[in-house]
Amino acid sequence: MTVTLPSTFDEPVLLGVIGGTGLYHLESLTPVARLTVSTPWGHPSSPITISRTKTGFPIAFLARHGVHHQFNPTEVPSRANIAALKHIGVKAIIAFSAVGSLREHIKPRDFVLPTQIIDRTKGIRPSTFFENGMVGHVGFGDPFDEKLAAVIAKAAPVLESNGVKLHTKATEGNDLTLVCMEGPAFSTRAESHMYRSFGASVINMSCIPEAKLAKEAEICYQMICMSTDYDAWREGEEAVTVETVVGHLKANSLNAHNFTEAILEHLEEEIKVGNVGRSLEGSMRYSVSTAPSEISRSMLEKMHFLLPGYWALE
């Protein structure tokens, strides 16, 4: 029997989880509300489900590709997704994503916490909230949140107990770079070899513009990558196929649920006391280069939804 959940929730929700391919809900948590949030950038790709942990801490969950996986990576309404999470109070986001491995030692079913991004999307995805005569610049030198990643890494033993390795900057001794490509087609072999020559570790189709928009919204963001294949770089082997990906996704989905539950045990208190989720506060207030008198009221109203009080509505 389907339970009808309340459509409103009156408490701030400080932590958001974005589920990628194979992760469409959080099994270990108790859902208490399902929100339909309208933003100036449209509706999110799914309703936002609010669930509580065992201690009552609320978590927001959003399915990146839709409840029925109806949005391909280019079509995901990322601006609406991030704006909706910001609007309900989210200060930190954990974002799951299936990825292809570009390194032999990152095996299918391994998990990866990337530290850097190479953007290979083609400029057809809206990647900023600043537009229509309002120019704002965001620092993106470190696209992921170091404090958030450190707390996530504490839950690694849960994966290790199931024979799954978590690759981090600490375990590798260097940055782990994620290539974000356009899709929905997978890489050619030539492209895959090129990405390896860049020194990249994994590849997906979802990190951009999500990570950029989170920065503009002053939300701390960390992607958790779940390896499903070796992309196309291994000579003599069949290039990545949907069948290969789906097989590993099923195993990864169970690991992701268990990993998330363990992460929350470490992260909940860190967010409550402000150790995580506060590092970007106020960072966008002085980011706009455009003279205030030249910004349209309609644009200011849109940005007021995202960052209320930053720019006066005349």
Give me the catalytic one of 110, 119, 145, 231.
231
Kind and range of the H or E run holding 61 = strand 58-63
Contact 131, 206 (CB under 8 A): no
> Would residue 231 show up in a list of annotated catalytic residues for this protein?
yes
282 conformational bin, left if phi > 0, alpha if psi -120 to 50, beta if neither: left
> Would residue 119 show up in a list of annotated catalytic residues for this protein?
no
CB atoms within 10 A of CB 7: 10
Encoded amino acid at 30, one letter: T
Residue reference for tokens 């990906």: 245
278 CB-contact burial (10 Å; exposed 0-12 / middle 13-18 / buried 19+): middle
274 conformational bin, left if phi > 0, alpha if psi -120 to 50, beta if neither: left
Peptide bond into 47 cis (omega under 30): no
When computed from its CA atoms, the radius of gyration of the chain, rounded to whole angstroms, is 19
Contact 122, 209 (CB under 8 A): no
Encoded amino acid at 128, one letter: T
Kind and range of the H or E run holding 83 = helix 78-87
Active site residues: 229, 231
